[in-house]
Amino acid sequence: MRGPTGEMKAALREIRSVLTVVACGKAARLTSDSAAAFLVYVVGHGLAFLTQLVIARLLGASSYGVYTYVVAWMTVLAYTAMLGFNVSLVRFIPTYAARNAWSLLAGVIRYAERRVLSASLLLAAAGALLVLATGPALGVELSNAFVVGFLIVPLLSLISVRCAIVRAFGGVVSALVPMRVIREGFLFAFACIWLLRGDAVGPTAVVAVTVVGLALAFLFATRHMDRLQPLALKDARPQYDARAWRQATFPMFVVTAGEALFDKTGVLMLGFASASQDAGIFALVFNMGLLVVLPRTAVDTIFAPAIARLYAEGKYAEMQSMVVRASLLSLSGAAAIVVVLAVIADPVLGWFGSDFATGRTPLIILLMGQLFAAAGGSQLSVLAMTGNEAGAARILVLSALAHALMCAALVSLWGLIGAAIATAAALVVWNVLMALDIRRKLRLWPGVVGVFRPAAV
C-alpha cells in the first residue's frame, strides 16, 4: 500500500487545522465528556452481553454457533461496504462546516451514502447468490440463516454512516444510541420473550429479528441526522471533490474492514472447520472479553478529535499528557472489568451447561490480551488523527494476516483454545507494532509507558 500523496497530506493538514470546532476543551474535559458516552456504552454493551447470553441459552451451543457464524460474515461484509466513510465523514464534515463550505458538505454526504449503498447491495446480492448455489452443501439451517442475514449488510452499513454524520454534527450520544441501545434492546426483548415462553427458535428467526432491530435503528439515526444538520445545509447544492475523498478515505477503509475481520477471525476459522459448537462458545467468550474495551472506546469519543487539534497546533507535550491520561483511564477501567469477569466466568458459563463451561480457559486468555491492549490506550486514534492513516492501515493488515495464519494453525491443533491464543497473540502484536510506529513517527511514549518516560519535544 502506498503512502498518502502530497495533495492528500495537504488536505489532511487542513482538516486537522479546523478540528478545533469539534474539540475545543482542555485535557480535563476528557474525563467529564466521556462520562455520558461511557454511560451509553455501558448500557449498550450490557444489553449486547445479556442478549448474547439469552440467545446462547435459547439456541444451544450448535445453533448459536450457526447464528454467530452468519452474523460474523455479515459484519465483515458491512464494514467492507462502508468503504471507510464511517470514519472519514467525522473529519470532513467539521472541516466543511468550519469553512461554511455547505455545497461540499452536502456533496460528501450524498457521495458517501450512494457509494456505501451500492457496495452493500452488491456484496449482499453476490453473497446470497453464492449461498443459494451451494445451499445443499451448507445445510438447510445455515443456508436459510445466511439468506436472511444478507439484509443486515446494507442496513448496518448505512446506519454506521448516518451515525458518523450525527457524531460529526455534535450528537455524540445520539450517534451511539441506534446501534448500542435500540438494536440490542429490541433483540434482547424478543430473546427474553422466546426464552420465557419456552419457544423452539432457530438461528434464522434470531437473524430475522436482528434485521428488524437494525431497521428501527436506521430510522432513529435518520431522524437525528435530519434534526442536527445545519439549516444552511438543507438548501445547499451538492458539490463533489470525489478524488480527494477517495484518497483520504481509502486508508480508513482498510482500517475499518481490517478491524472487522480481525474481530471475527476466530469465529470464521472455527466455522470453516465445521466446528459450529466451538464457534458459538468462542463467540460468547469473545463478546464477554469485549467488555474490557468499553472504557477505551468511551474515552476515544473525545480523545480522537482532541489529539487532532493538539497535533495541528504542535503541542506535543499536551499530546503526551493526553495520551497518558487516556491510557490510564482505559487501563484502570479495563482492569476492573477483567477482575469481575474472571470471578463470574464459571457461574455465567455454567448456566448454559457443560458445553459452554469449556469456554472459561479461552475467556481468561482473551482477557489477558485485551488487558494488554488497554495498557496501550487508543493507539489507532493517535495514528489516524495525526495523518498516519496509511501506516496504521499497513500495521492492521499485517496484524490481521498474522491473526488469520496463527488462527488457522492453532485451531487445527487445539480448536477453541487455539483460537483464543491466536487472537490474544495477535492483539499483542498489533499493539506493539502501533506503539513502535507512534514512537518512531511522533516521538511520543505510547500508552501507559508515558507515565514513566517524558515526551521528547
pLDDT at 68 over 90: yes
Q: How many CA atoms lie within 13 A of 195 on its CB side?
A: 19
Closest CA to 310 of 170, 455, 431: 455
Q: What is the mean pLDDT of residues 416-438?
A: 95
Contacts 24+ apart (CB under 8 A), 439-444: 441/386, 441/388, 441/391, 442/316, 442/319, 442/382, 442/386, 442/388, 443/316, 444/316, 444/319, 444/320, 444/323, 444/382
pLDDT at 318 over 80: yes
- How far is CA 385 from each of CA 17, 18, 276, 373, 390, rounded to the nearest angstrom? 11, 12, 39, 19, 11
Crossing angle of the two packed helices 102-133 and 242-272, in degrees rounded to 10: 30
Closest CA to 310 of 118, 27, 101, 103: 27
- How far is CA 180 from each of CA 45, 174, 332, rounded to the nearest angstrom? 7, 10, 23
Of the pLDDT bands very low, low, confident and very high (cuts 50, 70, 90), residue 173 is confident
Helix (H, G, I), strand (E, B) or coil at 165: helix
Encode pLDDT of 226-262 as tens digits.
Answer: 999 898 898 899 999 999 999 888 878 887 888 888 8
* 107-121, 285-299, 367-381, 408-422: segment of lowest average pLDDT: 285-299
d(CA 97, CA 256): 25
Of the pLDDT bands very low, low, confident and very high (cuts 50, 70, 90), residue 38 is low
What is the per-residue pLDDT for 408? 93
What is the per-residue pLDDT for 451? 84
Computed from CA positions of residues 57, 58, 62, 64, in that sequence, does the dihedral angle turn out positive or negative?
negative
Q: What is the mean pLDDT of residues 120-132?
A: 95
Burial degree of 136 (CB within 10 A; 0-12, 13-18, 19+): exposed
Q: Averaging pLDDT over each range in 91-95, 98-102, 124-128, which range is the top one?
A: 124-128
Phi, psi of 315 (to 5 degrees): -95, 75
CB neighbour burial string for 291-327, b if at least 16 within 10 angstroms, e if fewer? bbbbbbbbbbbbbbbbbbbbbbeeebebbbebbbbbb
Q: What is the mean pLDDT of residues 252-274?
A: 86
37 contacts: CB under 8 Å, gap ≥ 6? 172, 173, 176, 298, 301, 302
Domain extent listing, the chain: 10-450
Q: Are 186 and 213 in contact (CB under 8 A)?
A: yes
What is the per-residue pLDDT for 296? 87
pTM score, two decimals? Answer: 0.78
318 contacts: CB under 8 Å, gap ≥ 6? 27, 310
Q: Report DSSP letters for 315-365, one per residue.
A: -HHHHHHHHHHHHHHHHHHHHHHHHHHHHHHHHHHHTT-HHHHTTHHHHHH
What is the per-residue pLDDT for 36? 67
Alpha-helical runs (H) found in 169-292: 172-177, 184-197, 203-228, 231-234, 242-272, 276-289
